[in-house]
Amino acid sequence: MLLIVLRIGWSKAISQKDNKPIKKNYFISVVVPIRNERRNIDSLMIGLANQNYPISDFEVIVVDDHSTDDSFKVVSENRMHVQNLIITSLDKSNVGKKAALTHGISIAKGEIIATTDADCLLTSGWLTTINSAFQNDQIKMGEGMVAIADKDKFFSQWQAMEFASVMATTVASIGLNNAIMCNGANLSFRKQTFVDVNGYDGNIHIASGDDEFLMRKIQKKFPRSIQIVNSIVVTQSQVSLKDFLSQRIRWASKWKGNPSIWARLLAVFILLMQAVWIFFLGTFYRFDTKTASVIFLLKITADILFLLPVFRFMKIKFRFLPFLGLQFFYPFYVIFVGLLAPWISYQWKDRKIL
């Protein structure tokens, strides 16, 4: 029943078409916080240099969050490719992604702020699509989609399919007019709106959640002002299970500060559903073969019917073995991360977060 509701929300969200004509090109400030990203910067800069949006109508602000590698140097070397590039660094009294974003936004000239991460690949029409969404004056925030690179390795394929389900839920919630998630790797909002909700005030002490806490503040102050932007950026998969779990623990750690009752209920429901599935997997031998097979097939069929349109839209190839692996590993991972994330420290960009 939940998947049916989410499927309806997904369809509504991606079918939203803003018929308003392009009345103006907003000046867009792209703010990119970086920390130890020397391996990724070149690809990001190429994507920004290849935007088909007029170069006179956007700027790129890169804010270095105390990198311990030569990220700052690599960004500086890209000045010849990205002509409208501004490079700045946080002072010693400011640390973290929210501080970097706040600093970048404070010096931004744009009416529209677009954020992405250093390890993302951008399409040439990224900024054009964002500009189109904000032709509607009622829109205060645009949520774009993020896909994990679908590489040849099983673990990368698994991550791509798993994260597509997260993105599907994100999009569906917006279609149902009750946004519960977003991703700062592809996010845009009006600078004045950021000022109106006092930016990250109230959650600056939480290391993660710059995107979702801001989204909820905007949704509360400006109901029905959030829209899906039909653009997809591609980010890289994690190379090891340790890195993957560290990343997901970081994401999940913000839930203890989540004020949304609906988001909390959904999280608890999903946690319980995965616990029931683990119970079934551990006791299937007590069922007769026919009953166990019907239960298992109903579960994976429901997942496939929900996810296939998402995979097609996000250009992610459906692979049966990674999908089957999700049925067995995903429940354990969800419960492990969900229960431990609020209480344990994690490592991010060579920085320990308590």
What is the tens place of the pLDDT at every residue in 127-137?
Answer: 999 999 999 99
Instruction: Measure the CA–CA gap between 84 and 8, rounded to whole angstroms.
Output: 41
Residue 28 or residue 3, greater confidence: 28
Check residue 35 and report its DSSP letter: S
Residue 170: φ, ψ to 5°: -60, -50
Domains and CATH numbers, the chain: 27-236 (3.90.550.10), 261-353 (no CATH)
Alpha helices in the chain (DSSP H): 2-14, 41-49, 71-76, 97-107, 126-133, 154-175, 191-196, 210-221, 241-252, 261-283, 289-313, 320-340
Predicted local confidence at residue 8, as pLDDT: 93
Residue 134: half-sphere exposure toward Cβ, Cα within 13 Å: 26
Considering the chain, what percentage of its residues have pLDDT values greater than 90?
46
Residue 7: half-sphere exposure toward Cβ, Cα within 13 Å: 12
Q: What is the mean pLDDT of the segment spanning 60-65?
A: 94
Sign of the CA dihedral with 2 first, then 215, 223, and 313 last:
negative
Q: DSSP letter string over 178-238?
A: ------GGGEEEEHHHHHHTTTTTT-TTSSS-HHHHHHHHHHHHSTT-EEEEEEEEEEPPP
Min mean pLDDT across 104-108, 322-326, 334-338 is at: 334-338
Residue 285 or residue 111, greater confidence: 111
Q: Using pLDDT thresholds of 50, 70 and 90, give the confidence band for residue 345.
A: low
- Both tokens of residue 232? 């997809």
Q: Which residue has the tokens 């490592």?
A: 347
Grouping H, G, I as helix, E, B as strand and the rest as coil, residue 17 is: coil
Contact, 71 vs 36, CB < 8 A?
Answer: yes
30-50 pLDDT, tens digit each:
999 999 888 888 899 999 999
Min mean pLDDT across 117-121, 128-132, 249-253, 344-348 is at: 344-348
Distance of CA 56 to the CA centre of its chain: 28
